[in-house]
Structure 1
Amino acid sequence: MPADEPTILATSGGAVSGSRTKWEVGPLTSYAVELAGVTGRAPRVCFLATASGDNPQLIRDFYDMSQLAGFHGSHLQLFTMPNVEDVREHLLGQDVIWVWGGSVAGLLAMWQLHGVDAVMREAWEAGVVLTGVSAGSICWHLGGTTDSFGPDLRPVTNGLGLVPYSNGVHYDSEEQRRPLFQKLIADEVLPAGYATDDGAGVLYRGTTMVEALTERDGAAAYWVERGPDGTAVETRLDTRRLR
């Protein structure tokens, strides 16, 4: 069941510590699933851990989360080969695609190699809800800041560009993130964009950001643009608390 229009919920969250499992589905991811509008059956949610090298433990954690949440879960792995016969058919058959964090540079390279980048655009246009955390947030944008290349953050500028903005993740929890994101926008390395504290996300309908959301008290989202004097201007957005 497709969403009413192309939908992305890009986050710095979406999973919370579990009581019986390592992780549980957080309010942000639950809301992404709600946006798919599924009724009368379990929502089909596909998990991608490409950015973490398809770490088997993460995939097991997803199935634990999925079972608790009542999802019909599946995963797409690309290492050492795709685990499904037809990647396009599998992804287009989902209600929600959930992308985990890690190396966004590695994710983008692997997706391009296997044609997943083109399929993601097709899925988005078809109304499959796209969501994810960290690398799984930046990937939908034109670029952002990344530790893919080492502990000193660098820009990544070859995102899928489904939405025409940059994206800053972990804005309040990693000290390099905020100043570098602002500098890259001021220097026009990155276009203006949206940043999220840990536990926050931004919702896009089509290419328009329509709402900022959070699953953690105090977490917020921000709009960052280049001002007339060539410096970055940050605006804190009204952010709705999810429960």
Structure 2
Amino acid sequence: MAADQPTIVATSGGWVRGSWTELEFGPLVRLSLDLSGATGRPKLCHVGTANGDDRHMNAMASEAGRVAGIEVSHLNLFPMPPTADLAGFVLDHDVIWVNGGSVANLLAVWQVHGLGEIMRTAWEAGVVLGGVSAGSICWYTGGVTDSFGPNLRVVTNGLGLLPYASGVHLDSEAQRRPTVHEAVAAGKLPETHCTDDGAGLIYRGASLVEAVSERKRGGAYLVRRDDATGQAVETPLDTRRL
């Protein structure tokens, strides 16, 4: 099965602490699987490029899959890809879940291996694209990141499947909100879609259709430039609790 429309679930969440394992898939990951239309034992591809394909994280993701009854595989690019047919590997899944870390490094490595076009092909074919933090920013034109150091900077070389920018972890890191507002006001970023920790945004094609959260509080926001004042204006979104 495949999603009936190109679908992205861009989040600041997805992982929860497990009972018998260190991590489990949270409601945001499960929502991504539901949106894929997968039946039987769903297939999820975990992508850890942003953290250098950390094998410990891979193991935790595999354990989470075992607990949830989900078949998990890993798209490792270090030290080399797992196959010469990366497109076939990616397309053989219901959901691609991209983990957090350095989005600048992720985008550079993906460019070397041609992953951008492969992800676009998968998206158009109905594979649900999802992820957290760097794994959220990558689907947009860019966003705010700590990839270069503790002082946040803007990246503008995202895959551009979504014609907006991304602001993640808006409620948990003090620099995030003012940096997003400054970048939007200055025209460095276009309309920016932001999530608090635990929140996610669902897109059908390039259209935002719903904001959700796997937590009791925290939400999502649109930040746009008011051309009349030159200031950034933040608008909260109605957020459904999962």
With the length of structure 2 as denominator, give the TM-score of the two structures.
Answer: 0.98
Percent identical pairs in the alignment equals 56
1:217 counterpart SS class: coil
Runs of 4+ off more than 6 Å: none
Give the C-alpha shift of residue 210 in structure 1.
Answer: 0.2
> 1:174 is matched with which residue?
173
> 2:22 is matched with which residue?
22
1:224 counterpart SS class: strand
Q: Which amino acid in structure 2 is aligned with residue 98 of structure 1?
A: W
Question: How far apart in 2 are the matches of 1:193 and 1:152?
Answer: 19
Q: Which amino acid in structure 1 is aligned with residue 179 of structure 2?
A: L
Native 8 Å contact 1:46 1:98 kept in 2 = yes
Question: How far apart in 1 are the matches of 2:112 and 2:45?
Answer: 20
Give the C-alpha shift of residue 84 in structure 1.
Answer: 2.6
> 2:7 is matched with which residue?
7
Question: How far apart in 1 are the matches of 2:43 and 2:19?
Answer: 24
Question: How far apart in 2 are the matches of 1:17 and 1:198?
Answer: 14
Q: Which amino acid in structure 2 is aligned with residue 129 of structure 1?
A: V
> After superposition, where does 1:46-195 map in structure 2 within 5 Å?
46-195=45-194
Give the C-alpha shift of residue 19 in structure 1.
Answer: 1.5
Q: Which amino acid in structure 1 is aligned with residue 236 of structure 2?
A: R
Give the C-alpha shift of residue 154 in structure 1.
Answer: 0.3
Q: Please tell me the root mean square deviation across aligned C-alpha atoms, in Å.
A: 0.7
Structure 1 unmatched ranges of 5 or more: none
Give the C-alpha shift of residue 183 in structure 1.
Answer: 0.6
With the length of structure 1 as denominator, give the TM-score of the two structures.
Answer: 0.98
Question: How far apart in 1 are the matches of 2:111 and 2:2?
Answer: 24
Question: How far apart in 2 are the matches of 1:2 and 1:208?
Answer: 18
> 1:238 is matched with which residue?
238
2:116 counterpart SS class: helix
When the two structures are aligned, how many residues end up with a matched partner? 241
Give the C-alpha shift of residue 149 in structure 1.
Answer: 0.4
Question: How far apart in 1 are the matches of 2:236 and 2:211?
Answer: 10
Structure 2 unmatched ranges of 5 or more: none
